[in-house]
Chain A
Amino acid sequence: MRRIFLFAFAQLIFLAACGGGGSDLTGGTGSTGTGTGTGTGTGQTIAPVGANVVQMIVNAGPSGAGSNATFNIPYVSVTICAPGTTNCQTIPYVEVDTGSYGLRIIASALPTSFLPALPLETSIVGGALAECAQFGDGIAWGSMRTADMTIASETATSLPVQIIGDPNYPEIPSDCTSHGSPEDTVALFGANGIIGVGPFLTDCPACAGTTQYNIYFSCPVGGGACNDVEAPVTQQATNPVSKFTTDNTGVIVELPPVADPAGAATATGALVFGIGTASNNALGSASVLTTDDTGDFTITYKGVAYAQSFIDSGSNYTFFNDGSIASCGTAPNQYFCPSSELSLSATPTGLNNVEKAVSFNVSNIANLSGSFSAFDNVAAPELAGSSQSFDFGLPFFYGRNVFVAIEGASTSGGVGPFIAF
């Protein structure tokens, strides 16, 4: 859903010629005096690829340029193997999401001959375990299988993996479709899969004791009607990092700064495994903000404290309420469109009362290049009044390293769950 604006360059040239109309065209350091955090680009070190580091890239995504191109979605490559074997497939364009849990792969991104090599999980009432993963934009339906997952030199053995759109289980139960529309193709999903590395272990611990979530189902092996079932946490979609033998305390999302306001065609950074487990993943001077048991903390913006706020690599805009900023576009692509770039500030505060102010810019994405994929200055409005949430999406991540510590993990900054930057 990219917008290609033929006049984009003319706009930028005009703005540059006019000195930017008060906006910050130079990029680089944070532009207001309110930010106490790392300014964009200052003091950031991005780890080179290594045993616990995989390259992460933000670009147009698996569908490439065109109407299905993505922006501000970070991708890594993941290798999955039939458990205990060297029968493996490497899958590029797996979305890195700090707002979900577990590895999910679109079935069509795998050779059909490979799928049967991944054993089905057996539900506690018999039959194949399947999942209806709930997302904000719809549902992901498919079988739960096990695989050995390798990324960089880290391996999670016998990891539960969801195969979205598994052709062997095409009958989506009504208890699933009633929650949203299925996203079972690469074009619809915007990725070949998703790796959920948020600050918790599994996607639905309560589902071990109730079927009321409509998330886990038991299906006749080989297909047929499926029924709600409880799923022990050991069978659930699981944060793969927690299953590594080392470097299993969390991740660091490391993306370089991008030009502001212009953005960049691509941004290449790193996903680092472990916090405080190796020389390249020390917390250093990062501020540790603990989260509640959902991953939320408070973000204060223009004097209003939004209690259900979060920092999320899977949100491609920053989403917040501000009726004073003009919004444009047609849903689902409604976005803020100020006449000149705005320099703003917001302050995340952990449950431990540690706070750290953050400067950020908001531009009109319509004036930015339609062929670019990485922007640190795109934001979109929440529905007026309804939200107690400020969602710092991928724009937050450019130019700073963001630590995500898993629940129960011991680090030099304390025990997870927490976010640090």
Chain B
Amino acid sequence: MKHSRRAKATGLALGAALAVASVTLPAFAALGGDATSVDADVAKMKGQAHATPAVGYTVSQITLPTGTVVNEYVTPGGKVFAVTWKGPSVPDLQQTLGSYFSAFQAAGSVPHGGNHHQLRVQQSDFVLQTGGHMRAWRGAAYVPSLLPPNFSLDDIK
């Protein structure tokens, strides 16, 4: 059902989405942060960025010098509501997760069973999962209250 909705909407909304993108660019900031607060992430992580419009939100993709790719999902209102990363290095998560970084730190600073390849945080307003192994780390995080209307979590890639 999600897929049929997306397929139907794609052509129709492309123009609108592009308009949204032009409003929100440049749109790189920490999770939960304001896109208008600049490309702090790009500068801090020495990345290269480009934005891809989608229906109802924009994906700003930052490619780090290591090859790790960080995707930041931005609402039309300019809020970063989700981030993902994937690649050979873990990105600067203090920068990427912003104020939510402390929740990631807290989860990692209590004994959690000797598994060093995964960590999950699930709070009412912050959800994170990391995974992978050396040479290929990944993670995803989002703020439920900031998700755009009709946004499917399956669209966080």
Contacts and interface: CB of A to CB of B under 8 A. Distances in A.
Interface string B142-155: 00000000001111
Nearest to B127: A383
A135 B116 contact: yes
Contacts of B136: 294-296, 308, 310
B66 interface: yes
B115 A317 contact: yes
Which one of B95, B116, B128, B155 has the highest number of Cβ atoms from chain A below 10 Å of its Cβ? B116
Contacts of B86: 308
Contact of B105 (A180, A200, A383): A180
A51 to B, nearest CB: 28
Nearest to B136: A294
Interface in A137-192: 137-138, 177-183, 187-191
B121 interface: yes
Given A100-B134, A294-B136, A181 B104 contact: yes
A329 to B, nearest CB: 9
Identify whether the interface residues of A are mostly helix, strand, loop, or mixed. Answer: loop
A63 B113 CA distance: 10
Interface string A372-396: 0000000010111111110101000
B138 A308 contact: yes
B131 A190 contact: no
A317 B104 CA distance: 20
Nearest to B91: A179
B116 A137 contact: yes
A382 B114 contact: no
B117 A135 contact: yes
- Residue of A137, A183, A188 most packed against chain B (CB within 10 A): A137
Interface in B92-127: 92-95, 104-123, 127
A15 to B, nearest CB: 25
Contacts of B105: 138, 180-181
Contacts of B94: 177-179
B140 A386 contact: yes
Contacts of A334: 120, 122
A227 interface: no
Given A334-B120, A386-B84, A190 B134 contact: no
A70 interface: yes
Interface in A307-356: 308, 310, 312, 314-317, 319, 330-334
B121 A70 contact: no
A97 B116 contact: yes
A79 interface: no
Contacts of A203: 134
Contacts of A317: 115, 118
A190 B111 contact: yes
A314 B115 contact: yes
A332 B119 contact: yes
B131 A138 contact: no
Interface string A223-239: 00000000000000000
B25 interface: no
A334 B66 CA distance: 31
B15 interface: no
Given A180-B104, A181-B105, A334-B120, A137 B112 contact: yes
B13 to A, nearest CB: 20
Contacts of A210: 65-66
Contacts of A380: 118, 120
A84 interface: no
A36 interface: no
Most A CB within 10 A of own CB, among B104, B108, B117: B117
Interface stretch (A110-118, A212-220, A408-416): A212-220
A206 to B, nearest CB: 7
Contacts of B93: 178-180
B106 to A, nearest CB: 8
B71 to A, nearest CB: 10
A385 B114 CA distance: 26
Contact of B89 (A214, A316, A384): A214
A263 to B, nearest CB: 15
Contacts of A135: 116-117
B33 to A, nearest CB: 16
B153 A385 contact: yes
Nearest to B96: A178
B117 A314 contact: yes
A101 B134 contact: yes
B38 interface: no
15 contacts: A1-B111, A63-B111, A73-B115, A95-B114, A134-B134, A136-B131, A137-B112, A180-B108, A212-B66, A212-B89, A295-B133, A334-B120, A384-B154, A386-B153, A388-B157
Interface of A: 1, 61, 63, 67-68, 70-71, 73, 95, 97, 99-101, 134-138, 177-183, 187-191, 194, 196, 198, 200, 203-204, 206, 210, 212-215, 293-296, 308, 310, 312, 314-317, 319, 330-334, 380, 382-389, 391, 393
Given A178-B93, A180-B93, A332-B112, 10 more contacts: A73-B113, A136-B119, A137-B112, A181-B108, A181-B109, A212-B46, A317-B115, A386-B84, A386-B129, A386-B138
Interface of B: 46, 64-66, 84, 86, 88-95, 104-123, 127-140, 152-157
